[in-house]
A and B are shown apart, each in its own frame.
Chain A
């Protein structure tokens, strides 16, 4: 799966330390970030912007928004 650039790695560390991201959540964040990179046709490694966005999107849904219609 996508490798991370230094800034992205640091950002994930910040989120993990803050307890706002679990190990299982980490995996999903990386997948979402990878999708964002694909959509932007951006080559690896993943950037802090992509990882950051994946983190905010994950945190965003209070319920129902993730449910397939």
Chain B
């Protein structure tokens, strides 16, 4: 069989044909045993990638400011492997390798890096990407949960993934067994079928698509059962990883990957989880980033609902339906319902002031307070009355005048 011709089109991350030296160094550093994303990030942020690599490949990683910490903490065996690896790897070759087969290598601060992660508190210095990055421009919802999902939980995840995708949301998940895989199957158009991970490819021309974030290199399929799903996610959406090719999903890489899931999401939905688990780590990362957290309620005695019920108890938004999730990201079909006003002129000065402040532009509560100069109590009271008389409608934290013109462009969560 003839080998397919790999087109040598320039990757989106660099000028035509040119290989970015910084990208090369970061890929190489990330490939070293015992060196994780935090160290690679520091090297990039401090502009020390070259010096670090040089020290490592010269057999003196412990003398380098960036590497001394990790090298000091790793065993002698790992340090020796690190030096061996540094001596045998050529950064430029590694970069080329990682850019083959249509994959892209994106560096924080350079063109092409996902906008959503630009100001992340702990962004990957270097990201490996395969597929349609543009799906990240659509609203994103992470749907996550336990690997040991119940049948009902998986069914729900499939259903939720499907409805979110239908509504134009890019569904983010980790491709793990259980809830993650089910969510993506749903997003790809499958109906619930126990034990299957195959199906037709989703229409690739849709603006939204599945977003998979994996803990392994992009060339490694984990779990193996999800090989077909892996392929479909790349075909219909995008796959990302901060792990170099050939590297297996070591246990420590999963929490790291969860922060990327949270970072890419406008909202995180936990479908099923025990009291502790990977999903709870993803929740913490979401909270750190001010990303909305929602949870599906479960039976009080169900172990797989213990974590999610805890979240709801602590104030996460309950998911009763897909609408609850859509509402959280400013979608939801329900534009604020403006009943026919018809009532008499608004004479109360505070209400008048609030109405004028809303003018043509929807506003959040703090914005209304700022625009009117009134105090919170007066504004709040006026809003209750205006909503009551059908002059103002509220949806997802935004207030707007009814019947006024105004821009109703979709907003991200306030």
Q: A interface vs B, CB < 8 Å?
A: 7, 11, 14-15, 17-18, 20, 47-56, 59-69
A-B pairs with beta carbons under 8 Å apart, 18 shown: A11-B385, A14-B388, A49-B381, A52-B379, A54-B380, A56-B379, A56-B384, A60-B365, A60-B397, A62-B292, A62-B317, A63-B267, A63-B294, A63-B316, A66-B316, A67-B311, A67-B314, A67-B316
Contact B290 A52 (CB under 8 A): no
Complex CA gap A47/B327 in Å reads: 31
One of B317, B384, B388, B394 near A63 (C-beta < 8 A) = B317
Complex CA gap A17/B388 in Å reads: 8
One of B327, B328, B377, B397 near A48 (C-beta < 8 A) = B377
- Given A18-B387, A69-B287, verify A62-B314 contact (CB < 8 Å): no
Number of A-B contacts (CB under 8 A): 94
Q: Using Cβ atoms and an 8 Å threshold, which residues of chain A touch B328? A: 62-64
Is residue B286 contacting chain A, with contact meaning CB distance below 8 A? yes
Is residue B413 contacting chain A, with contact meaning CB distance below 8 A? yes
Contact B380 A63 (CB under 8 A): no
Q: Using Cβ atoms and an 8 Å threshold, which residues of chain A touch B385? A: 11, 14
Nearest CB of B to A28, in Å:
12
Contact A62 B327 (CB under 8 A): yes
Q: Using Cβ atoms and an 8 Å threshold, which residues of chain B touch A67? A: 287, 293, 311, 314-316
Q: Using Cβ atoms and an 8 Å threshold, which residues of chain B touch A47? A: 377
Contact B315 A66 (CB under 8 A): yes
Complex CA gap A16/B267 in Å reads: 30
Residues 265-294 (chain B) with a chain A CB within 8 angstroms:
267, 286-287, 290-294
One of B316, B378, B382, B383 near A64 (C-beta < 8 A) = B316
Q: Using Cβ atoms and an 8 Å threshold, which residues of chain B touch A17? A: 388
Q: Using Cβ atoms and an 8 Å threshold, which residues of chain A touch B327? A: 62
Contact A56 B365 (CB under 8 A): yes
Contact A14 B314 (CB under 8 A): no
Nearest CB of A to B142, in Å:
12
Q: Using Cβ atoms and an 8 Å threshold, which residues of chain B touch A63? A: 267, 292-294, 316-317, 328
